[in-house]
Every structure is written in C-alpha cells, then in structure tokens.
Amino acid sequence: LRDNDPDITYISIQDEREDDYYDFVVREGDNLGWLCYFVGRSKQLRGLSIDNFPDNLNIAAFLRGLRHNQSIESLCISTDIGEDFKSLRPFLRNNNSLGDLTFSHFDIGLQCARNIALLLGQQSSLKCLCFQETNLGDEMFVEIASVLRKQPQIEELNFYANNIGRNGCVALGNALEGTGNPNLATLYFGYNDIDDEGIHALVAGLINCDKLTSLNLNGNALITGAGLRSLSTLFQSEHCRLEQLNLDQTSIDNDGAAVLTAGLARLPSLKKLHLSDSSIGDQSLQALVGGLGSCNLLEDLYLSSNNMLTQSVVGMRSLGTLVQRTNIHSLFLCDDTVNDEGLQYLVDGMANCCRLKKLVLSYNNSITAVGLSFLSSLFRSERCSLCTLLLNGVNLDDDGAMALANGLIGNMSLKTLEFSRSGITERGWTAFFKLLCDTSSVNNTYFSNHTIEKIGGSPTTRLKGLADIV
C-alpha cells in the first residue's frame, strides 16, 4: 500500500486467520493507524472488505481515515460496527468511485438501519446496493427504502434473505414509483416473506423501471396465483424489457400458471426462466408451454424439483415440442422431475431439435436404462446439437451405460456426458470404450466417436472405470 503496488487492489480485514483468504489479520493491541493512512492515500486499491474487528479497537478512527481514499470501488462490511457507521460519512461523501456497497451476514438493528440510510444520502455514485442475510425485517427496510428514491443511478438492488414482508414491499414500491427515470436493471428479493399483496405493491413501482432486465423472487412461498396476476400486469406493460425471471420455490398451481402464462405470452424479451420447485403439474406445464411459445429469445428453462411432473405425459410432449420450436439452449429437469415414460415423451417432442445445447437430468432416481435408451433418437438426429448431458445422481448401471453408448454411435455433437454414483462395471465401461475406439475393423475405428471429451463424473470414477478395462 505504501509503495502503491499495482498488485494490491483488494484487502480483506478479519480479526483471526482461519485460512489464507484474509489479507490483513487484526490482533489485540494492533495500531491500525498506518494501515488506515496508506489505505486513505492509495490510488491502486479497488476493493475493501471488513469482516470483523476486535471489540477493543478504535474502529471509528480507522473508518475516518478512509475519507481521503478516492480509488475504492467496492466496500463490503460483514460486521456490526454500530454507531461507528457514522464515521463513514466523509468517505461516502468524498469518494466518487464507489459503485458497490454491501452489508452482509449480521443483524442490522433499527438505529443501525437509520445510520446507514443517512450514509446513503451522502452518496451519488452507487450502482449496486446489497443487504444479504442482515435480518432487516419490514421496520428496518422501510428506513433503507425511504432514501432509494433519491438514488436513481442505482442499477442493482440485492435484499436476499432479510425477512422482508408486505410493508417492506409497499415501501420499495413507493420509492421506485417516486423515482424519476430509475436505472434499476436487477432486483434480488429472494427468500423473504413476500405475499400476494406485497407483490401487488411492488409491481406498482417496478412498472416505472423500464430498464429492469432481471427480477428474482425465488424462495417466497407465500406468492400464489393472485400475486402472479400482478406480475403478469408488469410483463404486459408497454416498457417491460425483462430478460430473466426467477420464481423458484413459489406456489404456482394450475390457476397461477394460467395467469402467469398470459403475461409471459407478452414478454418476448425473456431469455431465462426459473420455475423449479414451484408445484407445477401436467396441466400447469401445458399452460406454461402455450405462453412460452412466443418467447423466441428464451434460452434457459429451469423446471427441476417439480415432482408432480413425473405423472406428466401430455405436458412432457408439449415441452419437447416447445424446445424444438424455440431457441432454448439449456433445459433443467433435475430432482425427481422425470421418469422413463416422461423422458420418452419429452424426446418424442424434440427429436429433431437443432438448438438445445445442454440437458440436465440429474437426480432423477426413476430413470433407468429403458428411459436412457429413448435418448438415442435425439443423439442420432442429423440436427442434434446437444453438447452436454448431465446425469449426476441417476442410478446408472451397465444396461444404462450400454444404452447411452449405443445411442451415441455416430453422434457428432455431444462433448460431455457426466454421471456419478454409478453401478457401472467392466461391461458398461467396455461399451463406452468401444464407442470411442471400435477396433473391430479399420472402418469402425475411423467412424468411432471422436467428438466426446468427457465421460463420467469425478476423475476417480473415470480412472477406476478405465482401470477395470485395462
């Protein structure tokens, strides 16, 4: 720091060394005067993380010493420094480089929230504001939200896991609604206590955010069909440009899927949609597929942990057809979402698919060699572009390995076939070996699969399989 070493661009401060991650460990009796002085005058330092300070240290003096720094772009505080937050005012007022301010993993009380709100009033360069697992609750969050209408330059807000409920949503909705020309592009509001009325209040503000491209409401299990109806209104608004929507672990039943579909059908900008663990069944899936047909830019679709889809037949076939007809590149169907019959109907629908690059079927314990054999029609299609197939956690045995190996004969696209917890013996590994190098004739050797780069999971699994063959 003293020499303005160009390699010193980030410092993490902690009061005990648990590993080599922390750059500066504060011990009892340490005088941080010199550290504070050189941080203040540094022109190379871009990031500062304060993870903990000993209780008997004069934190205020250290924070006041930051006031001279003009280079720090990212500040993360992961410890409660109480009234000493006030000592940050000169730094926030003078530093026009600060773009990222994060508070994480400590409980913010009411007075602390008020002090932080006062600090935010001193800052005009922030692009990203994050409160992660700080137990804000509605009362404290209202204090923070009240100053956000004066921060139109902020592009990302992250309030992950803070016990924020209906009143907090009202406060944030009012702040966004009252902000002139907000630049907000990303909102993380996952794992809070947001219900349908909270969503309704929040949408009133989000409609004013015509630059919003990413909305994350995952883990709010109180959101049901009524809340999704409000979201649908947002999607249908004239200026909505949303590209990513995360509704994992919400309560999307048949009614919710119907109203959500109406909104998604009017959202052609959507590129990534998360609907995992959201109580989606066959009827819900059919409705969603109908709405997503007009989302021509959709690339990634997450539908994992929807256990009711194991009974879905028509829905799986329609999903396959959707994948074939749209621009979907990645499809995630993990965690007991698909069985053999479902996989058959899925592949039937997308047999001639030419855009799907990644298919994730991990941890579907009901998939057997019978289901895996249905993939051969996808592998052998001249239009197949699948590069990655993930089967981690699937109970793969020799019959399953042979079904995959036989299906991949002649395939020119797949590069990664990943699986773990396999029961494959020498017989199954021999099938893979033959796929890669069939020595039965010169022609067969020449036409062996020379595209695939990885088969198996961990290096140990792969090496054991090869050792068995050798």
CA-CA distances (angstroms) from residue 325 to 139, 252, 293, 304? 48, 25, 8, 21
How confident is the model at residue 270, as a pLDDT? 97
How confident is the model at residue 18, as a pLDDT? 59
How confident is the model at residue 464, as a pLDDT? 54
How confident is the model at residue 278, as a pLDDT? 93
H/E stretch holding 231 reads helix 225-235
Helices 282-292 and 254-264: crossing angle in degrees, nearest 10, is 10
pLDDT digits (tens, 9 = 90+) for 361-400: 999 999 999 999 999 999 999 999 999 999 999 989 999 9
Residue with tokens 């219900």: 195
**What is the DSSP code string of 410-439?**
T--S--EEEE-S----HHHHHHHHHHH--T
Beta carbons of 300 and 273 less than 8 angstroms apart: yes
| pTM for this prediction | 0.92
How confident is the model at residue 465, as a pLDDT? 53
First-to-last C-alpha distance (Å) of the chain: 56
H/E stretch holding 272 reads strand 272-274
CA-CA distances (angstroms) from residue 378 to 216, 322, 346, 347, 448? 33, 15, 10, 7, 18
Low-confidence ranges of the chain (pLDDT < 50): 463, 470
How confident is the model at residue 317, as a pLDDT? 93
What lies within 8 Å, CB to CB, of 380 at 6+ separation is 407, 409, 410, 411
Residue of 457, 459, 375 lying closest to 417 (CA atoms) = 457
Q: Which DSSP symbol is given to 57?
A: S
Q: Which amino acid is at 224?
A: T
Tokens linked to 192: 């809070």
How confident is the model at residue 22, as a pLDDT? 57
How confident is the model at residue 178, as a pLDDT? 92
User: If DSSP codes are grouped into helix, strand and coil, which group holds residue 156?
Assistant: strand
What lies within 8 Å, CB to CB, of 123 at 6+ separation is 92, 93, 98, 101, 151
